[in-house]
A and B are shown apart, each in its own frame.
Chain A
Amino acid sequence: MAPLDGIGASLRRKEDQRFLTGKGRYTDDFNRHGQLHAYFLRSPHAHARIRGIDTGRAKAAPGVVDVFTGADTKAIGGLICGWMITSKDGTPMKAGSHRPLAEDKVRYVGDHVAIVIAETYNEAKDAAELIDVDYDVLTAVVVTDKARAPGAPLVHDEIAKNTCYEWSLGDKAATDAAFAKAAHVTKLDIVNNRLVPNAIEPRAAIGDYDSGMDSFTLYTTSQNPHVARLVLSAFNGIAPEHKLRVIAPDVGGGFGSKIFIYAEETVCLWASKQVGRPVKWTGDRSEAFLADAHGRDHVTTAEMAMARDGTILGLRVHTTANLGAYLSTFASCVPTYLYAPLLSGQYRIPAIYAEVDGVYTNTAPVDAYRGAGRPEATFVIERMVETAAREMKIDPAEFRRRNFVPADAFPYQTPVIMTYDSGQYHKVLDEALTLSDYAGFPARKAESAARGKLRGIGFCSYIEACGIAPSAAVGSLGAGVGLWESAKVRFNPTGNVLLYTGSHQHGQGHETTFAQLISTYLGVPTDQVEVIHGDTEKTPFGMGTYGSRSLAVGGSAIVKACEKVIEKGRKIAAHLLEAAEGDIEFKDGKFTVAGTDRAKSIQEIAFAAYVPHNYPQGVEPGLEESAFYDPVNFTFPSGTQVCEVEIDPDTGVTTIVNFVAIDDFGKIINPMIVEGQVHGGIVQGIGQALLENAVYDPESGQLLTGSYMDYTMPRADDVPSFKVGLVETPCPHNPLGVKGCGEAGAIAAPASVMNAVTDAIGKHMQMPATPERVWRAIHGTAV
């Protein structure tokens, strides 16, 4: 009998005990002996030349140990961007200098100017006010689609037109030809609003230099501690990799914002050697708003060509993507290779051509945020499809059906790089229509109308690419790293298991899900498995957690390590059972001589491996195996959301009255955890559609939405409960058949919500659909 806590069980989470009792250990919960506290002085200006900095009074302030500015930190290598994008004219992207502490200029409000290190946090913060910075304030360029305007101020003096790259993907001539024979063309201007990730734990770091060992330890809020170590070593030059340990303990949410290697941890780590004591920095929420990498911020024009029957013939997209003032760690790939290859959606589109201009502005860096490029692509194609269907007076569900990639067409090669592996788009849509009672919508709309309310329904049939990624493929597209994952399975002599993973959990439940894999593959119950992650000195080198990759890539590495354990165990069992190795079967934690009841449990085999008194010749003692897994393709989760809204035309208030999500994530390990990921993603998507908007003053570049008083986070009373369902089409190319579930909700929900809102009001409008903006849209004074 299969164990009850293996694959498919909604096992309650192993990690919850510590989080529920206040025993979680987040970075700010750590304190090192002799620790000092750091405060970063930040630029109050969006754009200014630094004429001079006087730190004299600050250095003399009570408790202050030292103050460093850009002039002091020239030995630190610059912050890097790890993906080289090539413009359509063949020139490499233009990455401006990105110093950990500003030297010549500050380039956004919140840019790092100095670090004050003192005995207490308050002393450091107080002293920062005593630093005199002589700024020559410059005109700022803030607005995305004005960055390339003639005469716009230059963020980096040497980068013309504030343009990092002018990139394209697809066949322009074929797309132009498709439009030439179109019976109908739909065109939309689409803004994908800028967001602040807002993991509830602010970023934090403790740098700790040990002079006895000449080595560094960094405690940090990271989704990928090995990547942080690699960058801090190879590029920032703080210490060689073998002299640097990075620990990412419990991390309170990431959503992409904790992938990146920021100035704060870099400088704290470096400074700990300068001052000879550990240096701790914990950001506050205001700093998170100013200086965590933001998300989205696209301005797009899209055109789609259709035949008379609604068959899509071609798609043409031009996007201006705001990269902020500097290129963050993976910023360059998000609006290019993580975006345009998804523009085909779930549809057979013969010709697609996309152009993306990546631009610098005097705003915080923009990088991957939950979904990273795929929400932007999904929003474009799904707003286009919905709008085209309405314009052509075809039911939006039927329009999608006519254009879906059919279930028998996989693997399906799109015109924009991707080869979709599997999917059942028609089936998923049909289930969503049933669960949302689409047939009953006209009656509900009439009932709302009778009460003076506007009711609308919207779909989003999304595709996304997870499990990033085949190393050779991403390498050919400019990635500076491989994107495999690692695992190590160690049996202890008493039969329990330590599972080391290169992935990192910050809410996803790896300690439970990964233990379930061990339960199923090795027959060891989950309470006998400890999952270890987040410490470069304990775990094998891993690329970390983002892009919904942990199970598809990291889980596959675990399966491979398990297979190696079984292979070795079989040799030991054959010896102990005096049978031929080929006659030994392994199932449910037991090695059995086929056709007999002679068996040894895997725990007995583990004991024998560590106490090898009676042991096969030529077999090494011990039972511990490692594996690395490099995927052969992306995985392609898909699904359909149906959102139904009711809008009060007098107030503009939008209420979500029904929300259905049917997702195909392939094989499911823990349904409870998967559904939780869907719920959370949906609310982040609803947040983007209805509430959230990072707004800079267009002239001064001041962040106007710099706190929870101004930036509207979704709260419990802003959102409904959800109806979610799963369709399982196993991924054909990884051993678990899994696809990834972490981002789907956030990828699809902006489009499903906005399709519902625009259906209700009968007009196109941009996100977020706040009451004021909806009211203005209804009453003809659109903002």
Chain B
Amino acid sequence: MTVSVSITVNGKPVTRQVEGRTLLVQFLRETLGLTGTHVGCDTSQCGACVVHVDGRSVKSCTLLAAQADGCAVTTIEGLAAADGALHPMQAAFREHHALQCGFCTPGMVMSAVDLANRHPGGMDETTVREGLEGNICRCTGYHNIVKAVIAGADTMRGAPAKAAE
């Protein structure tokens, strides 16, 4: 059984016929070829597949593509500015060495952007650590991710950016 799914992905409307059981992450990776969104588990635990659906972070392995019909989805490919300038959170991850193998990174960055949006007053370390509880990273030990998220959130809300040591 196929269903018709219409989603605005990274600002571009797309319509595709897909199998009913197609997950949003499969739709993004396999139907649209947007392979920046990753699959790291099969129990909605690791967070490598996090994208934004109508502005909120969502584990795209937990949603059928059909459930996102009519929604606006932003993936890691759609985060940087049109001219290629990195989003402040992406830039902060680079500046603070908050990624190693890069596999959890897209989901981690998308979660971090949403976390920052939900805390417009800024965040302390505990808030960041608890807020990222749904994203597993095996490489970094989270130390630099926490620093990056605090710095990226500061930049997002217009506070002066602090360079890493």
A: which residues have CB within 8 A of B? 10, 12-13, 15-26, 28-29, 122, 198-202, 250-253, 255, 284-286, 506-509, 672-673, 675-677, 679-684, 707-709, 713-717, 719, 721-722, 745
Q: How far is the CA of A199 from the CA of B46 in the complex (A)?
A: 11
- For the complex formed, measure the closest distance between the CB of A413 and the CB atoms of chain B, giving whole angstroms: 35
Known: A201-B38, A252-B101. 4 other contacts (CB 8 A): A200-B103, A253-B103, A676-B97, A676-B139
Partner of B97 from A12, A250, A284, A714 at Cβ < 8 Å? A12
Min CB gap A684→B, angstroms: 7
CA distance in complex: A508, B101 (Å): 7
In the bound complex, CA of A389 to CA of B128 (Å): 39
A25 to nearest B CB, angstroms? 8
Would you call B80 an interface residue if the criterion is a C-beta within 8 Å of the partner chain's C-beta atoms?
A: yes
A682–B139 Cα distance when bound, in Å, is 10
B residues 20-50 in Cβ contact with A at 8 Å = 21, 29, 34-43, 45-46, 48
Contact A285 B102 (CB under 8 A): no
Interchain nearest-CB distance for B81 vs A (Å)? 11
B118 in the interface, Cβ–Cβ < 8 Å?
A: no
Please provide the chain B residues from 59 to 99 with a CB less than 8 Å away from any CB of chain A in the complex: 75-77, 79-80, 86, 90, 93-95, 97, 99
- Which parts of B140-165 form the interface with A (CB within 8 Å)? 140-146, 164
Q: A12-B95, A285-B40 are in contact. Are A721 and B143 (CB under 8 A)?
A: yes
Closest A residue by C-beta to B96: A672
- CB-CB under 8 A from B125, the residues of chain A are 721
- Tell me if A's interface is mostly helix, strand, loop or mixed: loop
Whether the pair A707, B41 counts as a contact (CB closer than 8 A) is yes
- Knowing A12-B95, A20-B93, say if A682 contacts B141 (CB, 8 Å): yes
Q: Once the chains are docked, how many angstroms separate the CA of A707 from the CA of B138?
A: 15
> How many angstroms from the CA of A681 to the CA of B100 in the assembled complex?
12
B104, CB-defined interface residue at 8 Å: yes
Contact B142 A716 (CB under 8 A): yes
Which of A122, A202, A252 counts the most B-chain CB atoms under 10 A from its CB?
A252
Q: A285-B42, A721-B143 given as contacts; is B103 within 8 A of A716 (CB)?
A: no
Do residues A745 and B103 form an inter-chain contact, with CB atoms below 8 A? Answer: no
- A10–B144 Cα distance when bound, in Å, is 14
Q: How many residues of B contact A (CB 8 A)?
A: 56
Contact of A255 among B77, B99, B138, B142 (CB under 8 A): B138
Which single member of A682, A708, A716 contacts B145 (CB below 8 Å)? Answer: A716
A20 and B109 contacting across the interface, CB-CB below 8 Å: yes
B109 CB to nearest A CB, Å: 7
Q: Is B101's CB under 8 angstroms from A506's CB?
A: yes
The answer to the question of B137 belonging to the interface, with a C-beta cut-off of 8 Å to chain A, is yes
Q: How many angstroms from the CA of A286 to the CA of B43 in the assembled complex?
A: 9
Tell which of B43, B105, B141 has the most Cβ of chain A within 10 Å. Answer: B141
Closest to A670 in B: B97
CB distance from A510 to the nearest CB of B (A): 11
B34 proximity list for chain A (CB < 8 A): 22
In contact, B42 and A284 (Cβ under 8 angstroms): yes
The reply to whether the CB of B129 lies closer than 8 angstroms to some CB of chain A is yes
CB contacts (< 8 Å) of B128 on chain A: these are 716
CB distance from B9 to the nearest CB of A (A): 12
Instruction: Pick the 10 closest A-B CB pairs, nearest first.
Output: A22-B36, A252-B103, A19-B102, A507-B101, A683-B141, A708-B45, A507-B100, A679-B141, A22-B76, A29-B35
- Cα A713 to Cα B46 in complex, Å, equals 9
Task: Determine whether the beta carbon of B138 is less than 8 Å from that of A16.
Answer: no
Cα distance A714–B101 in the bound complex, in angstroms: 17
Docked Cα-Cα span, A589 to B138, in Å, equals 39
Distance to closest chain A CB from B68 (angstroms)? 18
State whether the Cβ of B136 lies closer than 8 Å to any Cβ in chain A.
yes
User: Do A676 and B90 contact each other (CB < 8 Å), given the known contacts A22-B76, A507-B101?
Assistant: no
Q: Which of A24, A29, A679, A716 has the most CB of B within 10 A?
A: A716
Closest beta carbon of chain A to B24's beta carbon, Å:
15
| CB neighbours of A198 from chain B (8 A) | 138
Residues of B within 8 A of A251 (CB): 101
Q: Is B135 among interface residues, defined by CB-CB distance under 8 A?
A: yes
Min CB distance B57 to A, Å, is 15
Write the chain A residue with the least CB distance to B132. A716
- Per the bound structure, the CA–CA distance linking A521 and B133 in Å amounts to 43
Does B19 sit at the interface, judged by CB under 8 A?
Answer: yes
What's the Cα separation between A122 and B23 when bound, in Å? 12
With A284-B42, A707-B41 given, is the CB distance from A200 to B99 under 8 Å? no
Q: Which residues of B contact A286 (CB under 8 A)?
A: 42
**Smallest CB gap from B103: residue in A:** A252
- Smallest CB-CB separation from B107: which chain A residue? A200
Residues of B within 8 A of A29 (CB): 29, 35
- Whether the pair B103, A26 counts as a contact (CB closer than 8 A) is yes
27 inter-chain pairs at a CB distance below 8 angstroms, sorted by A residue, are A16-B99, A20-B93, A21-B77, A22-B35, A26-B103, A28-B35, A29-B29, A122-B19, A200-B139, A251-B101, A285-B43, A285-B46, A676-B139, A677-B100, A679-B141, A680-B138, A683-B142, A707-B41, A707-B43, A708-B45, A709-B43, A715-B133, A715-B136, A716-B130, A716-B135, A719-B141, A722-B141
- Report the Cα distance A715→B135, complex, angstroms: 7
